[in-house]
């Protein structure tokens, strides 16, 4: 049975594209990797079988463009990759399901909670799960306990995230950061917990990773960690939030206690390490999409496996032609060695 996969907003997610291609080959099925992006110079589009230029997810015609593409390419699985589009796809999942298309996305309620860092932590704390104490500017105590951490309430890639250690710095960044949330300062090792749930919300795999070196919000060097406290934290989050597909939970451990500071219900940038450790999320996701029952394998991965990243480049000719291509159009991309 063929299964074509659509990876949206592919951008720099070359490892994810490669992982899905490897998974298709490993399962012995026929299938293509199709990508979308707003910019034909995004490196990811040059590693897919075919790619399309589409509007921004904020455009009213975005989902119609995706639906047209799915029809043209006989898509069986959509993999959204950026936070802003997750609630859109969650709301439209039934629309796509009517055409036999699975969307790897959690519920609309979950995506909206996780898209808001204040709501995420407040929701978890109210459910009895360790999460960073979080404040909006109007709820900050008169004498806040410094240091603290300030960041956009809705944002990604650590853009605008700043530690503040003095009151005057806090006052400045409250006016500088757009729609800020202020969190307690968690001074401990940082982890991302990769979690995969089936479409009924059942956890299938959990892989904690320590983020040893981080560049622009993405892991540069890190290692897998077999820590029961981290695994249980992910399972607790899955118990109170209806997840489906890939999720990454970000936390820090303070005095031996892992504490969540945000959740992203999508593939993480460090997913190649999780896959290399034996938890092949793309392959498991394809199996679930094909209707196979996948049994949980919690804690089954190689621990203390390190990943160290490096930059690579794609060389492209015909740039003027590519940039002139209108939206909703096929990109005949070709990487030049």
pLDDT tens, position by position, 295-335: 999 999 999 999 998 888 888 887 877 777 777 676 665 54
Residues 149-164 have a mean pLDDT of 82
- Could you tell me if 261 and 245 lie in one domain? yes
Examine the domain organization and report whether 67 and 137 are in the same domain.
no
Q: Both 296 and 192 in a single domain?
A: yes
Q: Is the pLDDT of residue 50 over 50?
A: yes
Q: What is the pLDDT of residues 173-227, one digit of tens each?
A: 998 999 999 999 999 999 999 999 999 999 999 999 999 888 777 788 999 999 9
302 with 215, same domain? yes
Q: What is the pLDDT at residue 304?
A: 97
Between 43 and 329, residue with greater pLDDT: 43
Q: Is residue 295 part of a domain?
A: yes
Distance separating alpha carbons of residues 335 and 269, to the nearest angstrom: 23
Range(s) of the domain holding residue 137: 133-184
Does the pLDDT at position 158 exceed 50? Answer: yes
pLDDT tier for residue 83 given thresholds of 50, 70 and 90: very high
Does one domain contain both 200 and 304?
Answer: yes
| C-alpha torsion angle, residues 14, 23, 288, 42 (rounded to 10) | 10
Give the three-state DSSP class for 211: strand
Q: Is residue 122 part of a domain?
A: no
Looking at the domain assignment, is residue 248 inside a domain? yes
How many structural domains comprise the chain?
3
Tokens of 128: 């009895």
193 and 281 share one domain: yes
- All residues at 6 or more sequence positions from 268 whose CB lies less than 8 Å from its CB, including other chains: 192, 194, 219, 246, 248, 274
Q: Please check whether residues 233 and 332 belong to one and the same domain.
A: no
Q: Are residues 214 and 294 in the same domain?
A: yes
Domain match, 284 and 203 both: yes
Block residue for tokens 């006989």: 74
The secondary structure of residue 325, as a DSSP letter, is P
CATH number at residue 274: 3.30.470.20
pLDDT higher than 80, residue 253:
yes
Domain termination residue (choose one: 167, 184, 201): 184
Residue 26 domain-assigned? yes
Is 336 a residue whose pLDDT tops 50? no
Overall pTM surpassing 0.85 (yes/no) = yes
pLDDT of residue 201: 96
Domain membership of residue 120 (yes or no) is no
Q: What is the pLDDT of residues 13-36, one digit of tens each?
A: 999 999 999 999 999 999 999 999
Is 154 within the bounds of a domain?
yes
Is there a domain that residue 123 lies in? Answer: no
């Amino acid at each position: 049975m063929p299964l074509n996969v659509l990876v949206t907003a592919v951008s720099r997610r070359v490892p994810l594209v490669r992982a899905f291609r490897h998974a298709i080959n490993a399962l012995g099925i026929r299938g293509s990797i199709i990508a979308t992006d707003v910019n034909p110079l995004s490196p990811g589009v040059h590693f897919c079988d075919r790619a399309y230029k589409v509007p921004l997810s904020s455009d009213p015609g975005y989902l119609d463009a995706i639906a047209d593409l799915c029809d043209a390419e006989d898509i069986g699985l959509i993999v959204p990759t950026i936070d802003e589009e997750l609630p859109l796809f969650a709301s439209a999942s039934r629309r796509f399901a009517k055409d036999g298309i699975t969307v790897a996305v959690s519920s609309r309620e979950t995506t909206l909670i996780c898209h808001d860092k204040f709501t995420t932590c407040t929701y978890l704390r109210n459910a009895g799960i360790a999460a960073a104490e979080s404040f909006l500017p109007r709820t900050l105590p008169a004498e806040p306990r410094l240091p603290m951490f300030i960041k956009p309430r809705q944002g990604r890639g650590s853009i605008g995230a700043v530690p503040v250690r003095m009151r005057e710095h806090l006052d400045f960044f409250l006016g500088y950061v757009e729609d800020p949330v202020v969190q307690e300062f968690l001074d401990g090792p940082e982890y991302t917990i990769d979690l995969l749930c089936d479409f009924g919300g059942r956890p299938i795999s959990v892989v904690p990773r320590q983020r040893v070196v981080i560049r622009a919000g993405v892991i540069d060097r890190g290692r897998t960690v077999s820590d029961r406290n981290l695994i249980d934290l992910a399972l607790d989050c899955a118990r109170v939030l209806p997840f489906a597909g890939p999720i990454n939970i970000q936390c820090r451990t303070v005095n031996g206690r892992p504490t969540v500071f945000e959740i992203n219900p999508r593939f993480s940038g460090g997913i190649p390490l999780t896959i290399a450790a034996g938890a092949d999320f793309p392959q498991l996701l394809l199996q679930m999409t094909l209707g196979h029952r996948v049994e949980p394998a919690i804690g089954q991965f190689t621990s203390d496996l390190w990943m160290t990243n490096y930059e690579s480049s794609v060389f492209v000719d015909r740039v003027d032609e590519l940039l002139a291509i209108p939206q909703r159009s096929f990109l005949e991309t070709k990487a030049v060695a």
